[in-house]
Amino acid sequence: MEVAKGKLRPRYLAVRVLYRVIKDGAWAAPLLDALLQSHAFSLQERQKVTDLVYGALRAREDLEKRLELFLKRGRLVDLEPWTRASLLVAAYELLFTQAKAWAVLDEIVEGVRYERGPGMAAFANAVLRRLAVEGLGTQACPPVSLPNWLKERLCEDLGPDRAHAFIEERVLPPPTTIRARVDRKLLAARLQEACPEAQIHEGALSPWALLMRRVGSPRNLPGYAAGDFCVMDEGSQFVALGLGALSGERILDACAGRGGKSLALLDMTQGQVRLWACDAFPNKLDILVREAKRLGHTSSALTTLALDWRLGKGGIEDAFFDRILVDAPCTGVGTIHRKPELTLRLTQSSIEGVIQLQSQIVQRVWPLLRKGGMLLYAVCSPLRVEVFGAISSLLQDGDAKVVDDPISGFAPDPDGVLRIGPWNDPNRSCDTFQIIRIKRC
């Protein structure tokens, strides 16, 4: 594996990432980014590692079924994590790419021998050789393989056509999406000149979005240091657009996270608002503050507050805000093509705890909205219960009225919820969101 010399091969690094995802519940994206930053890989090698990690995760359910045909007993999930990760990466290459079987087997089995010894290496070799002989053949990789219970729930909540679009109609891998803070066309031309092999397209849902492939790390692109753009999914940009912030208003971003939407709101109003960005995790707010400085926003427009809404309101007065954004903690099912490791975490029972948290947040922040103000509630999930499970009691309040006006030409469904996803995104790339706006009368 050339480990002793400090040089890791792409396959070995892919297994290492997948191992951490399986064993420790790590998120693939930050782990993969950190490891790639610490090793001198070419752009082609970086793309290969990324494809192996996300390809194996997206096709995991299908790969496990195929591999279990060649296990003498037990299930793949019962194997120790390194061997399981190795078999998944190898099976993805053997079944869904043009890789030479001997090269895949040599490197993967060598990695198992290095990490787990000759016994497990012999086991992995036997399984993969049978797969290579009896199951080989480049096939169409499923955009994402989901458990049956989730497929059924998506069909029920979205309807068969939208569910099919959500599961199947994706252009993979998902692009890197940025929010342009300067003229979008001029920025695209400048980035294309710097990266001639890149694929760069304008987003269809947000007037600021650029979708990019084959550009490497956005931090290394021209204009990043100057604050000409920031990385932000197009669906998130659309949510910020939907709040409709105006200069002079007091705005609450109740679940700000790392602050992508807060910063978009500051840009929309040229910083002429008072914006409170709250989150339960102070480290995320630290990232927001650093990014605000990079983008040139002054501290006078932005107040950050580490706050767990389940415990209180942080001293904020009732009827204080003109607009409130609740981009609530959720299952994240709408990002499953970008974060396929979610299928390792999500269960039917885990959804109930998420809904309880969402409802607690909404009930806590609603009194902070002034009469005539608007609350926008959003989740990056297509599961209907993550909207109505959280706001059903609020909608029974006589002071609450659903706003059914379109956002940037996109109209809500009859139930008042605006749902964006591949069914209304011609680029088939944005994360899936549900958005509902409620006015306090």
* Domain co-membership, 66 together with 210: no
For the segment 390-397, the average pLDDT, to the nearest whole number, is 88
Q: What is the per-residue pLDDT for 347?
A: 87
For the segment 412-421, the average pLDDT, to the nearest whole number, is 96
Rounded distance, CA 316 to CA 331, Å?
A: 28
Task: Determine, yes or no, domain membership for 151.
Answer: no
Res 384 pLDDT > 90: yes
Closest to 140 in 3D by CA, of 62, 28, 82: 62
* Domain co-membership, 81 together with 196: no
Q: What is the per-residue pLDDT for 35?
A: 84
* Domain co-membership, 248 together with 360: yes
Q: What is the per-residue pLDDT for 7?
A: 53
Res 74 pLDDT > 80: no
* Domain co-membership, 117 together with 263: no
* Domain co-membership, 118 together with 99: yes
Lowest-confidence segment of 7-11, 32-36, 263-267, 436-440 by average pLDDT: 7-11
Question: What angle in degrees, to the nearest 10, is found between the helix axes of 28-37 and 43-58?
Answer: 160
Task: Determine, yes or no, domain membership for 158.
Answer: no
Closest to 261 in 3D by CA, of 280, 242, 283: 242
Q: What is the per-residue pLDDT for 136?
A: 55
Please indicate whether residue 345 or residue 306 has the higher confidence score (pLDDT): 306
Q: Is the dihedral of CA 409, 413, 418, 420 positive or negative?
A: negative
For the segment 324-341, the average pLDDT, to the nearest whole number, is 95
Rounded distance, CA 122 to CA 132, Å?
A: 15
Question: In percent, how much of the chain has pLDDT > 70?
Answer: 97
Domain boundary residue among 231, 255, 272?
231
Sole residue written with tokens 């605000």:
292
Task: Determine, yes or no, domain membership for 165.
Answer: no
Rounded distance, CA 224 to CA 226, Å?
A: 5
The 10s digit of each residue's pLDDT in 131-168 is: 988 765 556 677 788 889 999 999 999 999 999 999 98
- Which CATH number goes with the domain that contains 68? 1.10.940.10
Closest to 267 in 3D by CA, of 259, 278, 257: 259
Q: What is the per-residue pLDDT for 99?
A: 87
pLDDT grade for 216, boundaries at 50, 70 and 90: confident
The 10s digit of each residue's pLDDT in 111-125 is: 999 999 999 999 999
Number of domains in the chain: 3
Average pLDDT, the chain: 92
Task: Determine, yes or no, domain membership for 314.
Answer: yes
Domain boundary residue among 189, 212, 231?
231
Q: Which helix (H) or strand (E) holds 176?
A: strand 176-180
Q: What is the per-residue pLDDT for 139?
A: 63
* Domain co-membership, 285 together with 328: yes
The 10s digit of each residue's pLDDT in 233-292 is: 999 999 999 999 999 999 999 999 999 999 999 999 998 999 999 999 999 999 999 999
Q: Is the dihedral of CA 100, 102, 106, 109 positive or negative?
A: positive
Task: Determine, yes or no, domain membership for 166.
Answer: no
Task: Determine, yes or no, domain membership for 204.
Answer: yes
Coil/strand/helix, residue 202: strand
Task: Determine, yes or no, domain membership for 140.
Answer: no
pLDDT grade for 4, boundaries at 50, 70 and 90: very low
Q: What is the per-residue pLDDT for 6?
A: 46
- Which CATH number goes with the domain that contains 227? 3.30.70
The 10s digit of each residue's pLDDT in 169-196 is: 888 888 999 999 999 999 999 999 999 9
- Which CATH number goes with the domain that contains 356? 3.40.50.150
* Domain co-membership, 304 together with 252: yes
pLDDT grade for 348, boundaries at 50, 70 and 90: confident
* Domain co-membership, 97 together with 212: no
* Domain co-membership, 206 together with 109: no
β-sheet bridge partners, residue 305: 278
3-state secondary structure 58-78: HCHHHHHHHHHCCCCCCCHHH
* Domain co-membership, 329 together with 281: yes
Q: What is the per-residue pLDDT for 76?
A: 84
Q: What is the per-residue pLDDT for 5?
A: 42
* Domain co-membership, 280 together with 388: yes
Lowest-confidence segment of 29-43, 148-162, 204-218, 415-429 by average pLDDT: 29-43
Q: What is the per-residue pLDDT for 143?
A: 75
pLDDT grade for 412, boundaries at 50, 70 and 90: very high
Structural domain containing residue 362: 238-440
* Domain co-membership, 209 together with 280: no
Q: What is the per-residue pLDDT for 169?
A: 85
Rounded distance, CA 403 to CA 55, Å?
A: 40
Task: Determine, yes or no, domain membership for 153.
Answer: no
